[in-house]
Amino acid sequence: MSALFVLIGISIIVAGSFLAAFLWSVSQGQYDDDYTPAVRILFDDDAAPTSKTVTAAENNRLCKTGKVQNAINEKQ
């Protein structure tokens, strides 16, 4: 039973040392990301789709005037 108390004491000391090391590294700026903002400008953004969608009303109007083929070509 006394070994259990010793092991609990040692584990608390080890956990405290890890907590102290973590707090020290955060205060010293070890987790600051200085590399990514400089490189981020080099990556291209995905292009937004620019296709024209034809509404039902516009489709009906185009069918009546015979300009359906032109609208299909514009969409492609």
**Contact yes or no for 27/36 (Cβ under 8 A):** no
pLDDT given at position 25: 96
**Contact yes or no for 45/51 (Cβ under 8 A):** no
The whole-model pTM stands at 0.46
Angstrom CA distances, 40 to 5, 14, 15, 30, 45, stand at 52, 39, 37, 20, 10
Q: Which two tokens stand for residue 26?
A: 């955060």
What are the pLDDT digits (tens) for 8-67? 999 999 999 999 999 999 999 998 888 787 777 787 777 666 666 667 777 677 777 766
pLDDT given at position 27: 94
